[in-house]
Amino acid sequence: MSGPSDDQIIESVRLYRESLAETKAFYFEAAELVRGSYGWLGQGQSDAESFAQQMDDLHQGFLMKVFAAVVPDASAKSLEQRQMGRALLEHLWGKSVLGSQLHEAVDWLINAAADFQWDELVRPFTELPDLRNHWGELETLAMRMANLLTNVDGNVSVADNANIASMKRQFDQARGRAPDNLTRQADTDNARAAIDWLRDEAKRLRGDAISANVGKPTPTAGPGRSPQPASPQRSTPKTTTTETSEDVRTPEQRLEDAKAKLDRLIGLDNIKDQIQTLTNFLAMERKRQELDLPTSRPSLHMAFVGNPGTGKTTVARIIAEIYGALGVLEKGHLVETDRSGLVAEFAGQTGPKTNAKIDEALDGVLFVDEAYTLIDESGQDQYGREAVQTLLKRMEDQRERLVVILAGYPNEMNAMIRSNPGLSSRVGTTMHFADYNPESLCRIFELMASKAKYQLPTESRRRLLRGFTYLYSKRDRHFGNGRTARNSFERSVRRLANRLAEIKDITRDLLTTLQGDDIEVAGVDSAHLKAMAAKPGKVRIECNGVAQVVDDHCLGTEITCDDCGEPYFADWGEPVIELEAEPEPSSEAKR
């Protein structure tokens, strides 16, 4: 059997390099997200300056581990896999390893990675709450690189498939060990522990494997040169704002960036309108203050009411950024908590615990999820009542430095606010987060797919729309909303990975297209999803505000508008439910 052509090998190496760069960018984005979520992380200069560097070190270990998982035996690697190893070493060191040193360098890479543990390399994504939601993206990157490494030589063996299956199991085990029911206080405690661990682990990776291995070949080694210890020169990340502790953007730039994030969110039109109105008002009041005109400042404390997965935490983070950019809050960071982060287990400890959490959020936003659990309908919960009273006092006394957002289910939150006059008088704005409709869920899925560079052909779009329509029609208060879309994306990528494991020649098109059979909608049986998609259907699509109904086989294609006659891309649409015609009455009924 002939091996892959030179063009196929070149394409595989190019795709692999692209995946390496995407992984690095992914880790830097994760670092930025975490830094924005924990106010205490930036309080020390070393914390703020080193966190991105630590995540960079961790991403290097992760890449090495993926390579070693697919090519665990240094002596068994193929020529093509050595070329992939050279691409990885160039990514790690910023310089090429050439000639006779390449073989030794790849051997070092595999042996060094043997000491790394999956649990440790992915720990930030299992224990930091803001990163757990991005687990699917991390796994997607790993599986894509594994498939490229396996298929580059054109010979996918039983051992290759076993290695990939083993890596999948270890991913599942690492995620399975992460508690799903962590309270936000436990999240914060785990975040501190995980970040402390990250500092030590990054130092170990950098010291023991990446920059100080005795006998490791130098990155500049070429033909005839002997290996010698050398520290790699780190490549500069694509963005500079991630690695610097000081935000160099002007307030105007920060405000525009925050508003752009808000605009990119799927749906939430009513929320966007409310925030824009509030932003305009605060901007006007700031200008009046600059001109020594009378100003007023309404209560900025809010209630977010809605089911899980409707974007409440994301919007709270954007509001914090907007307030920071406008100068309403000095820092503009977000601190998340829930009952467990405010209420202690023993008498006399709740007040200090609540105050400590509020101190962490000063000059920023305190986001209290499931806030209604602080108030017991029986009135017997003294600890919860103490936390509420402490919170109310600080909301009033430090209203210039603190914004509190209380979030939870609609009915419970409305009852909580009505039951406490202190809350109802301080919560100036209530924002209602509606469930995402099927079209919005499809757009959320596509947003995640697009970020990971996946394409969605027509049949994939039809299946997604059918599946999400079915779930939406049967939803209750526990409907997952955005989380359902995320879970569906992760499962679909896994199905793709399983399909690619049986294919020898992996092309860019195969790696970047989620076909109809790959689509899985969380909560819908695959056979049922396929049966629903087999039936004809129609969708309502808008062009410049004018709606037209088309066959859903037009999704993902360019069609011509019936109104303006211009072509436009039919990405998604609102499903049109066609009622079955009423049967003709029988002859007996007519009589």
Q: What is the mean pLDDT of the chain?
A: 80
Superfamily name and number for 251-433? P-loop containing nucleotide triphosphate hydrolases (3.40.50.300)
Average pLDDT over residues 533-550: 88
List the structure tokens of 224.
């005839």
Q: Answer yes or no: is pLDDT of 253 > 80.
A: yes
Res 424: pLDDT = 86
CATH top class, domain 438-576: mainly alpha
Res 438: pLDDT = 95
Res 162: pLDDT = 81
Distances (CA, A) of 380 to 74, 267, 376, 467, 527: 65, 40, 7, 45, 50
Query: What confidence category does residue 248 fall into, taking pLDDT thresholds of 50, 70 and 90?
Result: confident
Query: What confidence category does residue 82 fall into, taking pLDDT thresholds of 50, 70 and 90?
Result: confident
Res 184: pLDDT = 47
Q: With contact defined as beta carbons under 8 Å apart, do 442 and 501 qualify?
A: no
Q: How far apart are CA 480 and CA 508, in angstroms?
A: 32
Distances (CA, A) of 529 to 50, 347, 471, 524, 532: 47, 53, 11, 6, 5
- What is residue 486's DSSP assignment? H
Res 460: pLDDT = 96
Q: Answer yes or no: is pLDDT of 508 > 80.
A: no
Q: With contact defined as beta carbons under 8 Å apart, do 320 and 364 qualify?
A: yes
Per-residue pLDDT tens digits for 170-225 = 888 877 765 544 444 444 455 555 555 555 655 555 555 444 343 444 433 332 33
**Which are the contacts of 269, defined by CB distance < 8 A and separation ≥ 6?**
none
| Of the ranges 51-60, 143-152, 181-190, 479-488, the best mean pLDDT one | 479-488
| Of the ranges 94-98, 198-202, 572-576, the best mean pLDDT one | 572-576
Res 99: pLDDT = 65
Average pLDDT over residues 15-36: 84
Q: Give the count of beta carbons closer than 10 Å to the beta carbon of residue 87.
A: 18
Name which of 252, 49, 65 is nearest 145 in CA terms: 65
| Of the ranges 44-58, 128-142, 515-529, 558-572, the best mean pLDDT one | 515-529
Listed range (28-32, 549-553, 554-558) with the worst mean pLDDT: 28-32
Query: What confidence category does residue 3 fall into, taking pLDDT thresholds of 50, 70 and 90?
Result: low
> The pTM is what?
0.73
The domain limits of the chain are 6-210, 251-433, 438-576
Res 431: pLDDT = 94
Q: Answer yes or no: is pLDDT of 117 > 90.
A: no
Q: How far apart are CA 170 and CA 165, in angstroms?
A: 9
Q: Answer yes or no: is pLDDT of 78 > 60.
A: yes
Q: Answer yes or no: is pLDDT of 446 > 90.
A: yes
Average pLDDT over residues 80-96: 84
